[in-house]
Amino acid sequence: MTEADADTNFERTPSQLADDDRGANRGGITGRVVSVLWNRAEDRPRALWRILGVYVAALVGIFVLPALALAGTELPPSVNGAATSLIGALVGFVLAIAVAKYVDRRPIADYGLAFGPSFLRDFGAGSVAALAGMGVALPASLLAGWATVSEVFSGGVGTNVLPFAAAFGVYTIQWAFTAVWEELVFRGLILTNAVEGLRSRWLSDRGAIVTGVVASSLIFTLGHFPGTLGTFGFRLALGLLLGAAYVWTDSLALPIGLHFLVNFAMNNIYGLSNFLEATETAMLIRPTFTGPAQFVGVYGLVNGAAVLCVAVLTVGYVALRNGDFGSRLSAAYRQRE
C-alpha cells in the first residue's frame, strides 16, 4: 500500500498533496529509502507501517499477553474467554490512545468513539439486526430436518463449567469485549489509516474508501486464521459488512452492536456453532445438527445466509438513518493538529 500526503489539509487536491510528498522526500538514495518508511510531509510513518504496527501489537495483545497472564490457571471456559477478551479490550484502548497521541495526533474520538445518544441508538440497532438476522438460521435447519433441539438453558457438560445463568452472563461480557477491541483495531485504527494512505491522484476518495474497506476486511479475515475456503468467505463477508457500517455512520457503535450479537447469537443463543468442542459452552438453545456440513456447519451456507439477512437489515437501518449510502467517514480527511 502506498500513501500520498492525504490528511493534513482536506481542502487540497490529491494531486497537490502527492506533489508535496514527492518534494519532501527528495534527497538521494537515503532519502528515497526513508521515504518508503516515513511520510515527511505528515511527519509520521507511512500508512502501511502504521497498519502493520497496529496489527502486530493487537495480535501480541490478544494471544501472547493473555497466555502469559492466565498461565497456570484453571478457569471455567467462560471465565477464561472473558478474561482473554478483557485483556484484548485493554490492549485495544491503550493502542488507540498511543496511536492517536503519538502517531496520528488527533482525538481518540476520531476512531469512531464519539459517545452520545446516537452511539447508543446505533449500537442497539446493530444488536437487534444481528439477533434477528442470525435468528433465521436455526429454524431453517429445523424445517429442513437438518437439526433437532436437544436442550434449552444448557450450561454445558464438563468438570469445570459454571451453572447456565452465570456462564451465560460471563459469555455476554466476553463477546462484548471482543466486539469492542476488534472493531476499535480493525475498523477504527486500521480502516481509517488505510483510507488515508490510499488517497492519491490515481484513486478518488470513494475509491480509497471502498479499497480501504476491502483491505481492512482481508486483514480482519486473516487475523482469524481461516483454515478453509468457507471460513475465509464467511469472515470476509462479515468484515465487509462491519467496515461498511463504520463508513456509513462514522462511528463504531453500529459495527460493535453487529459484531457483539453475531458472535453471541451464533455461540450462545441459537447454538449455531454447536460442534464437539462446544460441549462446555453455555447455550440458550443447544441443537444437534445432522444435515450436510456444507449447509449446517459453523461456516456453512445456512449461517452464511443468516449473515446476509443481517446485512439486509443493516442496510435498511442505514437507509432510514442517513437517507443514502454515502460515506460519513470524516476521521480520514480531518485536518490533524
Summarize pLDDT for 152-173 with one digit per residue, the tens.
999 988 778 899 999 999 999 9
- Alpha-carbon separation of residue 50 from 47, 59, 193 (angstroms): 5, 14, 7
Residue 35: predicted pLDDT:
79
Cell of 81: 474467554
Does the structure show a pLDDT above 80 at 226?
yes
166 exposed, middle or buried (CB, 10 Å; 0-12, 13-18, 19+)? middle
187: closest CA among 262, 254, 276? 254
- Alpha-carbon separation of residue 65 from 60, 99, 228 (angstroms): 6, 19, 27
32 exposed, middle or buried (CB, 10 Å; 0-12, 13-18, 19+)? exposed
CA 237 to chain centre: 11
Residue 30, C-beta contacts closer than 8 angstroms, at least 6 positions apart? none
Residue 62, C-beta contacts closer than 8 angstroms, at least 6 positions apart? 84, 87, 88, 91, 181
- Alpha-carbon separation of residue 254 from 175, 237, 243 (angstroms): 15, 16, 10
Does the structure show a pLDDT above 50 at 148?
yes
**Contact by Cβ (8 Å): 310, 241:** yes
185: closest CA among 47, 63, 89, 81? 89
Would you place residue 123 in the very low, low, confident or very high pLDDT band (cuts 50, 70, 90)?
very high
The three-state (H, E, C) secondary structure of the chain, written as one string: CCCCCCCCCCCCCHHHHHHHHHHHCCCHHHHHHHHHHEECCCCEECHHHHHHHHHHHHHHHHHHHHHHHCCCCCCCHHHHHHHHHHHHHHHHHHHHHHHHHHHHCCCHHHHCCCCCHHHHHHHHHHHHHHHHHHCCHHHHHHHCCCEEEEEEEECCCCCCCCCHHHHHHHHHHHHHHHHHHHHHHHHHHHHHHHHHHHCECCECHHHHHHHHHHHHHHHHHHHCCCCCHHHHHHHHHHHHHHHHHHHHHCCCHHHHHHHHHHHHHHHHHCCCCCCHHHHHCCEEEEEEECCCHHHHCCCCHHHHHHHHHHHHHHHHHHHHHHCCCCCCCCCCCCCCC
Cell of 337: 493538529
Residue 276: predicted pLDDT:
53
Residue 6: predicted pLDDT:
41
Determine the Cα–Cα distance for residues 122 and 100; give it in Å rounded to an integer.
Answer: 24
Which stretch of 61-65, 114-118, 128-132, 309-313 has the lowest confidence by average pLDDT? Answer: 61-65
Residue 277: predicted pLDDT:
56
Summarize pLDDT for 242-276 with one digit per residue, the tens.
999 999 999 999 999 999 999 999 999 999 987 65
